[in-house]
Structure 1
Amino acid sequence: MKLFRNKARDERVIAEANRVYRLGFFILTFGILADIVLQALGVRFGGGMNGNVNLFEFAVVIGTQVVCMLLLARRGLMDDNAFAECDRYPWKHYLAQGLLAGVAAAAVTCLIQAAGGAPWASMGAGTIALILAMKLLFLLPLTAGLVLLITYVLFRYTRRRRARAEQTETECGE
């Protein structure tokens, strides 16, 4: 049994996505390089618990993801997988992604808080399980809802872009 299904992939979709991801790689590389230079100069943008999170690196990573998502959408691609040019919104696929992201967010949040010395971390397995359950209760629907909302808006935008591109092609071809 395979964990992930291998669906047929269109070479044109792969080529378009690779161009976008190449640009994303360069943005990410230069952003991290700029952060290294800034740290060497003594400039650090700290945040989070105890100032352990470098906000500049976080902004570079999230900014790169947003740029890649928008560039894919401008090219009429929803994603780089089998749902890249679908006509119906694949809600089951993105719901599963949102639920997995919610579980991961809850687990990572608990781990970070426990490592940071949260008082509940030393209270026993029952308390830790209760804290994890409460985080899941909050983060699971929030993350799944945000993933569904963002991907649906992106789906509608990309479908509109594809329709315009097809209309332009038919007008030019006549």
Structure 2
Amino acid sequence: MVAADVSVRVAWPADAAGIAAVQLRAWRERYDDGLAARLGLDDATLAEAWQQSLARPPEARHRALVALAHDRVVGFAVTGPSPDPDADPAADGEMAEFTVDPAEQRAGHGSRLLQACVDTLVADGFGRAVCWVEATDDVLRAFLTDAGWGPDGASRELADEAGSGSVKQVRLHTALA
């Protein structure tokens, strides 16, 4: 029997192009091809932003994780202290991003990535984790709910800088005991 060569690890600056490519593919599927253009993003611009972020995170508890199939990035997540106004920054962590390449979903990458996020948040001393999910993303919400996350009643609406649209989100949380 041959084991699949899959893993999750802390992202390195060299992963920036792979993360950017996954993020843009996910955006194109989730929204439309015009979102990246409206935001002025292309592969190179987004990869440069990721390169800088990975090289100089804001603090030690801000981490990016990558799900890999062989040496190819197939998903990524970002963890750190929750910036929410009602959060306790010492106790409340956040999974700020959680994206699996649309072509790689249902292959176990999301489960491995989620477990790595939880393990990372626990190692960083957080007792609770939150994640903002688009109100219309039933697939991600069901995935997280099945893993023990639940709504805590908070919601928000994010508008794009051009004022041409907005995204409604709900907050999910889980205890990290």
What TM-score range do you get, normalising by the shorter chain? under 0.3
Relative to total residues, which structure has the larger helix share, 1 or 2?
A: 1
Task: Tell me the TM-score normalised to structure 1 length.
Answer: 0.25
Bigger radius of gyration: 1
Answer 1 or 2: which has greater strand percent.
2
Higher RCO structure (Cα 8 Å, ≥6 apart) = 1
User: What's the TM-score once normalised by structure 2's chain length?
Assistant: 0.25
